[in-house]
């Protein structure tokens, strides 16, 4: 499974369904959540991690950093990863939000929230990750490609998001602390472009809510 497959699943979740008149419930009736919907929201996206896979992903990631940001940046990250595993660093940052290691939906939840914050300049926003978790579990539960994935493929997907999260989180925090407006604007533009291209999601058109990310409410004239 790749990010294009995830994008298709997210597109379905974020696209409003057309409702005909006969489908609208009379006022006062209670909406019933189907068992399948509940099951999808609780779908298990965890995996059994392999240290060998983690090391391979780290080497590849550091090689990419070497060519994109330079030797010094690569060496700093390498030293940090030698002291603590990237997943452990990530977990310290996100565990308070109810996110856990070795779980694809949790890794993507943290990554999506971070990029939404960067794109919208919502640096002090308090976002409940639980609805986003459920939204992503449902997306994965309905993705045939994800259902075929084994532990290794799930780990590659999740830890890819985790490694990207760590670099982007550090850059965003530094820019916020330094009040570096130019860098914040660049990070915002990069987040918007990244999600439009890879996830087919416009981060400027969605907001977090009780059902995860959904369309931004229309502004009254």
Q: What does the pLDDT read at residue 36? A: 65
For 107-122, what is the mean pLDDT?
97
Mean pLDDT of 61-80: 88
pLDDT above 90 coverage of the chain, percent: 69
Residues forming beta bridges with residue 212, ordered by sequence position: 209
Over residues 63-92, the mean pLDDT reads: 90
Residue 135 has pLDDT above 70, yes or no: yes
What share of the chain in percent tops pLDDT 70? Answer: 80
The DSSP-derived string for the chain is --HHHHHHHHHHHHSPPP--GGGSPPTTPPPPPPHHHHHHHT---B----HHHHHHHHHHHHHHHHHHH-HHHHHHHHHHHHHS-HHHHHHHHHGGGT--SSBHHHHHHHHHHHHHHHHHT-TT----HHHHHHHHHHHHHT-HHHHT--HHHHHHHHHHHHHHHHHHHHHHHHHHHHT-HHHHHHHHHHHHHHHHHHT---TTSEEEETTEEEEPPPPP-
Model pLDDT, residue 73? 85
Number of domains in the chain: 1
- Does residue 21 form part of some domain? no
Q: Give the residue-averaged pLDDT of 146-173.
A: 95
Evaluate whether residue 84 is within a structural domain. Answer: yes
Are 47 and 157 in contact by the 8 Å Cβ rule? The answer is no
pLDDT (0 to 100) of residue 14:
53
**90 touches 80 (CB < 8 A):** no
> What crossing angle do the helices spanning 71-83 and 51-69 adopt, rounded to 10°?
160
**Could you read off the pLDDT of 9-47 as tens digits, one per residue?**
554 455 433 222 233 233 333 333 443 666 777 899 999
pLDDT-derived band at 1, boundaries 50, 70, 90: very low
Parent domain of 106 = 3-11+34-214
On whether residue 19 sits in a domain, the answer given is: no
pTM, full prediction: 0.82
In a domain, residue 62? The reply is yes
DSSP per-residue codes, 111-144: HHHHHHHHHHT-TT----HHHHHHHHHHHHHT-H
> Rounded mean pLDDT of 68-93?
90
């Amino acid at each position: 499974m790749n990010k294009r497959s995830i994008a298709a699943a997210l597109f379905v979740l974020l696209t409003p369904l057309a409702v005909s008149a006969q489908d609208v419930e009379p006022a006062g009736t209670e909406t019933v959540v189907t068992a399948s919907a509940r099951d999808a929201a609780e779908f298990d996206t965890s995996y059994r991690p392999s240290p060998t896979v983690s090391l391979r992903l780290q080497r590849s990631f550091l090689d990419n950093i070497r060519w994109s940001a330079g030797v010094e940046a690569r060496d700093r990250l390498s030293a940090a990863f030698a002291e603590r595993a990237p997943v452990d660093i990530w977990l310290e940052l996100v565990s308070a939000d109810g996110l856990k290691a070795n779980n694809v939906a949790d890794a993507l939840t943290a990554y999506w929230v971070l990029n939404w914050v960067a794109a919208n300049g919502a640096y002090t926003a308090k976002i409940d990750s639980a609805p986003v978790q459920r939204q992503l579990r449902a997306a994965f539960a309905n993705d045939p490609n994800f259902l075929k994935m084994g532990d290794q493929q799930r780990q590659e997907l999740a830890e890819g998001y985790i490694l990207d999260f760590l670099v982007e989180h550090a850059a965003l925090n530094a820019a916020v602390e330094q009040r570096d407006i130019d860098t914040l604007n660049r990070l915002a533009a990069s987040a918007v472009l990244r999600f439009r291209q890879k996830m087919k999601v416009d981060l400027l058109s969605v907001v977090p809510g009780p059902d995860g990310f959904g369309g931004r409410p229309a502004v009254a004239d």
